[in-house]
Amino acid sequence: MATRANNPGSVAVLNPFAGVDFSQLERSLQRPRTLMNFALNLIVASMTILALIPLFSVLWMLLWRGGQKLSLALFTQLPPAPLEPGGGFGNAIVGTLIMVGLAVLMSVPVGLLTAIYLAQTRVGRVAQVVRFSAKVLTGFPSILAGVFAYGAIVLVTGGYSSIAGAVALSILMLPTIILTSEEAIRMVPTRMKEAAFGMGATHTQAVLMVLLPTALPGILTGVMLAVARAAGETAPLLFTALFSNYWLWSHGRAELMKPTASLAVLIYNFAGMPFPNQVELAWAAALVLVLLVLAANLIGQSFSNRQNQQV
Amino acid sequence: MASESVPIPNDSSNMAPLFSAQRNGDVVIDCHIKELYYGTFKAVRDTVVPIAKNAITAFIGPSGCGKSTVLRCLNRMNDLVRGFRFEGHVRYRGHDIYGSAIDPVAVRRFIGMVFQQPNPFATSIYNNVAFGLRLNGYKGNKGEKVEKALRSAALWDEVKDKLHKSALALSGGQQQRLCIARAIATEPEVLLMDEPCSALDPIATRKIEELMTELRQRFTIAIVTHNLQQAQRVADYTGFLYVDTTQGGRTGYLVEFGESHQVFQDPKHKHTRDYIRGEFS
């Protein structure tokens, strides 16, 4: 029986709460810690809103200025000459898709293999150097990637090309893919690795049959982040792919070794022009670029979600 | 029944006849650990354990006494630990699995393992059980093998309608039985179980114990357990390990090994007696 020392007597035994002041339980801002809690909550909420203002104002501007111009012609027509009405940027959309696609093809195999190596080799000098390099590369100025690809591809092959653009973009994508994939592979619980080895799996089998499938959603997220970054890059493309007012296809084949249009460079070119039609096209191109990146993200996410449920 | 005196002398020649008089006679794994290190840390010393065919051998002892380490020696899982060093031998059917010509990966296909935490892969129930078959490039009827393994693990009736659903949706006890099914699908000869019930509730534990006594007909089982009653209920032989702190470190060693009823009813050593009675120094 719980008898309280400061409440002797039979009444206290029957009602152990006799001495409790119930006003203590009421919500009140007069207590310092409640006040503090309230104030901090308020600060957190207002800072969140403050941080979201730029994001949403950019999105709103894009929808407002770019949305007006949105039409099918944008996707099917070539960029107009100055003072020419109408036109579109179909070739820039194709160019961005092709160059980002090629960059993914170049950076994902290299990045993934590097990530597997890093995740398997925690310590070790080579791994540390590689990991450090990847981290440094994350903050690599994108214009330098462009200059590098200019020196390595453009000068060697003798002209601006979508291949050179893709190389520049793949350099920028590589560190993101390496670091996020390494993290994803490392997040696979040790007990799953042990299970694989306990079953008599070789190292290769454990990586291919357990580690990679389990880490796939995380790896896809990393690739999508890298794609989103690369799709918006302008500086490296100025040195490598330049721009083109024509379609990538001519005479039934893709001219990968010719200068290639991209949405980012089109925005850069048109936004500074004194012609209203070009400026409007730049806004529309910005909106299309954002929508493309968003679509890529959503597709990647739904794919990894499906993987998660089914597996 | 011969239960050797402890501490076991360092001279290895004295250790051979330990098991000769025992009931089943046939020793599948003859484990003889002289010294075992992780880096500079001496984890286990002087531990000689025979694992008898179609019997359950249990390892008991306080935390940190090296029970799991000894168990993981038996299929070379310790090789995955950095700095692991081993002196002694582990003979599987007379062949030293630590021999230079032996591939540890191949060893693990004959000596399977079930872990403390249920660890199914993040894939379907079917794929989990078929994992080992795929590893070995099994060409025959996988479905048949999977069903057989799931039946052997007493899980078939519970999962037969959702074979292609995620294994992670199963309860803890079901997951552990799935891991057992996965381990036995490739029909290893020996099954090592590292505290297989410590993450499970009493009902699931009971099911696993029943399963073990059934599986004993077809497999040789070695189990580490913290649960003395469990060792008493299921094990034919029991080894008691204890921690030696006299030399500065915490080194585990085998104190006593024998038939379970002898170890529990009539322990020969003071440490064993104290541990079983729940008295710790």
A87-135 per-position pLDDT tens digit: 889 999 999 999 999 999 999 999 999 999 999 887 789 999 999 999 9
The Cα–Cα gap between A268 and A286 comes to 10
CATH code: domain of residue A137 = 1.10.3720.10
Alpha-carbon distance A201 to nearest alpha carbon in chain B (angstroms): 6
Q: What is the mean pLDDT of residues B31-39?
A: 89
* pLDDT tens for each residue of B125-151: 999 999 999 988 888 898 899 999 999
Identify any residues that bridge with B90 across adjacent strands, giving them in sequence order. Answer: B31
Of the pLDDT bands very low, low, confident and very high (cuts 50, 70, 90), residue B279 is: low
Instruction: Give me the helices (H) in chain B, please.
Output: 67-73, 104-110, 125-135, 142-152, 156-159, 172-185, 202-215, 228-234, 260-265, 270-277
Match 């949405």 to its residue by tokens.
Answer: A263
Query: A residues 172-211 near B, CB within 8 Å?
Result: 189, 191-192, 194-202, 205, 209-210
**Strand pairing of B56-60 and B237-244?**
parallel
- Rounded to 10°, the helix A263-271/A90-120 angle is 130
Of the pLDDT bands very low, low, confident and very high (cuts 50, 70, 90), residue B22 is: very low
Give, as one character, the DSSP assignment of residue B80: G
The reported pLDDT for the residue numbered B25 is 57
B12-277 is a CATH 3.40.50.300 domain:
yes
The Cα–Cα gap between B57 and B59 comes to 7
Q: What are phi and psi of A292, to 5 degrees?
A: -60, -45
Task: Enumerate chain B positions whose Cβ falls within 8 A of a Cβ in A.
Answer: 75, 77, 80, 105-109, 112-113, 115, 117, 119-124, 131-132, 134-136, 166, 179, 182-183, 186
Of the pLDDT bands very low, low, confident and very high (cuts 50, 70, 90), residue A53 is: very high
In the predicted structure, residue B8 carries a pLDDT above the cut 60: no
The Cα–Cα gap between A93 and A97 comes to 6
Option in B122, B131, B166 nearest A199 (CB): B131
> What are the boundaries of each domain within chain B?
12-277
Q: What is the mean pLDDT of chain B?
A: 84
Do A191 and B115 make contact, defined as CB atoms within 8 angstroms?
yes
Option in B80, B122, B182 nearest A199 (CB): B182
In the predicted structure, residue B19 carries a pLDDT above the cut 50: no
Burial of residue B29 (number of CB atoms within 10 Å: 0-12, 13-18, 19+):
buried
* pLDDT tens for each residue of A54-85: 999 999 999 999 888 888 888 988 898 888 88
In the predicted structure, residue B2 carries a pLDDT above the cut 80: no
Chosen from B73, B121, B193 to mutate, greatest number of chain A CBs within 10 A: B121
Match 């090789």 to its residue by tokens.
Answer: B79
In the predicted structure, residue B14 carries a pLDDT above the cut 70: no
The reported pLDDT for the residue numbered A13 is 59
Burial of residue A32 (number of CB atoms within 10 Å: 0-12, 13-18, 19+):
exposed
**Is the C-alpha dihedral spanning B157, B204, B228, B249 positive or negative?**
positive
- How is residue B131 written in tokens? 């994992």
Residue A254 lies in a domain: yes
* pLDDT tens for each residue of A300-309: 777 777 655 5
Q: Which residues of A touch B117 (CB under 8 A)?
A: 191
Q: What is the mean pLDDT of residues A161-181?
A: 94
Do B135 and A201 make contact, defined as CB atoms within 8 angstroms?
yes
Count of all residues that appear for chain B in the document: 281
C-alpha A46: how far from its chain's center? 26
Do B123 and A199 make contact, defined as CB atoms within 8 angstroms?
no
What is the number of alpha carbons within 13 Å of residue B35 lying toward its C-beta? 8
Give, as one character, the DSSP assignment of residue B8: P
Q: Please, are residues B253 and B271 in contact by the beta-carbon 8 Å criterion? A: no
* pLDDT tens for each residue of B184-230: 998 899 999 998 988 888 888 888 899 899 899 999 999 999 888 88
Dihedral class, residue A252 (left if φ above 0, else alpha if ψ from -120 to 50, else beta): left
Q: Please, are residues B189 and A200 in contact by the beta-carbon 8 Å criterion? A: no
Q: What is the mean pLDDT of chain A?
A: 87
| CA dist list (Å): A299 to A90, A103, A289, A292 | 22, 18, 15, 11
ipTM of this complex > 0.95? no
Identify any residues that bridge with B166 across adjacent strands, giving them in sequence order. Answer: B124
Residue A42 lies in a domain: no
The Cα–Cα gap between B32 and B48 comes to 4
Q: What is the mean pLDDT of residues B65-77?
A: 90
Q: Which residues of A touch B135 (CB under 8 A)?
A: 199-201, 205, 209
Q: Which residues of A touch B120 (CB under 8 A)?
A: 195
C-alpha A54: how far from its chain's center? 18
Report cis status (omega within 30 of 0) of the bond before B7. yes
What is the number of alpha carbons within 13 Å of residue A297 lying toward its C-beta? 11
**Which of A19-23, A68-72, A110-114, B38-42 shows the lowest per-residue confidence on average (mean pLDDT)?**
A19-23
Residue A57 lies in a domain: no
Q: Please, are residues B1 and B256 in contact by the beta-carbon 8 Å criterion? A: no
The Cα–Cα gap between A179 and A188 comes to 15
**Domains held by chain A: number:** 1
**Which of A18-32, A92-106, A128-142, A189-203 shows the lowest per-residue confidence on average (mean pLDDT)?**
A18-32
Identify any residues that bridge with B56 across adjacent strands, giving them in sequence order. Answer: B221
Q: How many CB atoms lie within 10 A of CB B228?
A: 16
Q: What is the mean pLDDT of residues A199-207?
A: 90
Q: Which residues of A touch B119 (CB under 8 A)?
A: 189, 191-192, 194-195
The Cα–Cα gap between A17 and B216 comes to 60
Residue A289 lies in a domain: yes
Give, as one character, the DSSP assignment of residue A86: -
Chosen from A122, A187, A190, A199 to mutate, greatest number of chain B CBs within 10 A: A199
The reported pLDDT for the residue numbered B20 is 41
Do A199 and B75 make contact, defined as CB atoms within 8 angstroms?
no
The Cα–Cα gap between B265 and B211 comes to 25
**Which of A210-219, B3-12, B174-183 shows the lowest per-residue confidence on average (mean pLDDT)?**
B3-12
Query: Any residues with CB less than 8 A from the CB of B201 and at least 6 apart, and which?
Result: B172, B173
The reported pLDDT for the residue numbered A309 is 52
The reported pLDDT for the residue numbered B281 is 43
Question: What is the extent of the structural domain holding A237?
Answer: 68-310
Of the pLDDT bands very low, low, confident and very high (cuts 50, 70, 90), residue B63 is: confident
Residue of B nearest to A206 (CA): B135
Dihedral class, residue A239 (left if φ above 0, else alpha if ψ from -120 to 50, else beta): alpha
